Amino acid sequence: MRHMPSPLRTSRVTAAAILLAATSITLSARQTPQPRAIDDATLLKPAPGDWVNPGRDYAETHHSPLTQIDQSNVSRLAPAWSVEVGSQGKIETTPIVANGVLYGTSTYSVVYAVDARTGALKWRWDPALVKGGIADGAARFCCGPVNRGVAIYKDKVYVGLLDGRLVALNAETGHVAWAVQTTPVGKDYSITGAPRIVKGKVVIGNGGGEYGVRGFLTAYDAETGKQAWRWWVVPGDPAKGLEDRSMEMALKSWKGQWFKYGGGGTPWDGIAYDPDANLVYVGTGNGSPWARDHRSDGTGDNLYLSSIVALNADTGRYVWHYQTTPGDDWDYNAAQQMILTDLTINGKPRKVLLQAPKNGFFYVIDRLSGELLSAQPFTTVTWATHIDMKTGRPVETPEARYGTKAVRLSPSAVGAHHWPPMAMNPATGLVYFPGQDTSMVYQNVEKFDFQEGQWNTGTVRGGAGAAVASAPTPPPMRGFFLAWDPVENKERWRIEFRPSGGALSTSGQLVFVGDSGGTFYALDAATGRTLWQHKLMTGVATPVSYEIDGKQYIAVMSGVAGGKVFAFTLDGK
């Protein structure tokens, strides 16, 4: 068992910072009206000027109804304030804004609260996670010490930590209210995604599929931290019993002794909630190991890997699923963010769920039944020719199941679209997101030996050595940002782009997004034309919009080292 981090604590800051925070609190008390309760009603219908869910609303649209900043005046957008909150790697947070305070996260699960009017730091909480390598006792995680944000409910802010803990902080002071270990101690789970609040419960998933774990989604009482329900993504050892009927259904699609390797399926990010249907939707992760030959004797769909699953919000019980990549062999997980919306398709109103997962197809699914309505490629795809609309299954190419022969396929394991959130504008009806054309050499290792604490993909990772020599020459990798029409099943426009964070849509008919080089853009929502840009720090995360004292702001975090929160407004100083 590896060393666990030191106890939770609020970090010490300089005397100047303490004075600044104290001043901020005093000014807020004079200028801000009585705080509104961030209760279930507020989360169901956020005020136009607030951003109280990771996607602003339960539908995860990442759309702001504010109109003060629009195409006619966006050229006047200028910095209002910035504040350094720190980072030691890539920033992936989407802030929450409520009652004049902006809450966000940095690397290593650090949480900060900033006066959203002035940029004054109110508090900063550091869980003091062990950093460094495995030998130092640091948590193992797939892809950097990232964190995608917090949730807020009543007087608490909630954050998941890299070591698998879920922590509730007092929203005013940053002091710990409660903490619970959501994952087995000593196992290679991690949390990088933002929690969601559903009917007084905090819903959180986990990562770690590459290391050989068994994924699950859990709901905790928001006031006490007591577990309310848990849904496992893949079956465990059948000899030890199965948790529920959904695991009995899934068991038929697995062969061999996958449970010795965990199975995978970790739901590390995408969660949405439909209050009318009382359903929680979760996107699930890839298999562990990646190669199905080693995971499941080369056969079976391996439910519920790389799937979208609907669960009862009260009990966590399975309702329906749609598997985007049956028998996933390529790390084409479906843990990406989803959008819930209503569309008219073939003259019929439908309540739908939209997702663009790593496998390169854009999906439109009936969110009440799980019926597939459309699926079209939005990037170069060579592992499948198309999705059969009668069966809902991909039609795989002959070379897709690569075995021990080196084969180059698109997309790569990085995916055609990864974690950056999509946004949807109800006026244009378009979905906006960054993507990429990628390829990778896939090849099984001859013999798979599971090693705890190591990546266990069962493949020749990265297509090294002989695999590269024998595989076709890779096409050039390129990034893009596109607008997709989910009714017509096609893209409306596309621009060259270096993907970094996700998108923000506004009713000013603007789309805000930043690239990996640090440029922050405002685009025409209808055409993609650049209307404004501003240079920030390398690696722009996902922006949000909010309003205070009748003034609209755009806020975003940027920076790989010494990350900052930047806020913009018209004629800012």
The set of residues, in sequence order, having a beta carbon less than 8 Å from that of 239 and lying 6+ positions away, is: none
SS3 percent helix, strand, coil of the chain, rounded to 5, is 10, 35, 55
Work out the burial of residue 259: count CB atoms within 10 Å of its CB; fewer than 13 is exposed, 13-18 middle, 19 or more buried. middle
| Phi (first) and psi of residue 135, to 5 degrees | -65, -25
| Phi (first) and psi of residue 442, to 5 degrees | -105, 135
Active-site residue, selected from the candidate residues 126, 163, 331, 515: 331
CB-based contact 234:286 (threshold 8 Å): no
HEC profile of 492-518 = EEEEECCCCCCCEEECCCEEEEECCCC
Q: How far apart are CA 37 and CA 98, in angstroms?
A: 9
The set of residues, in sequence order, having a beta carbon less than 8 Å from that of 127 and lying 6+ positions away, is: 5, 8, 9, 108, 109, 110, 161, 165, 167
Q: How far apart are CA 268 and CA 285, in angstroms?
A: 7
Q: How far apart are CA 540 and CA 556, in angstroms?
A: 7
Closest CA to 214 of 163, 261, 160, 281: 261
Q: How many CA atoms lie within 13 A of 163 on its CB side?
A: 26
- Tokens 């600044």 belong to residue: 20
Catalytic, 237? Answer no
Closest CA to 285 of 249, 250, 328: 328
Provide the annotated active-site residues: 331
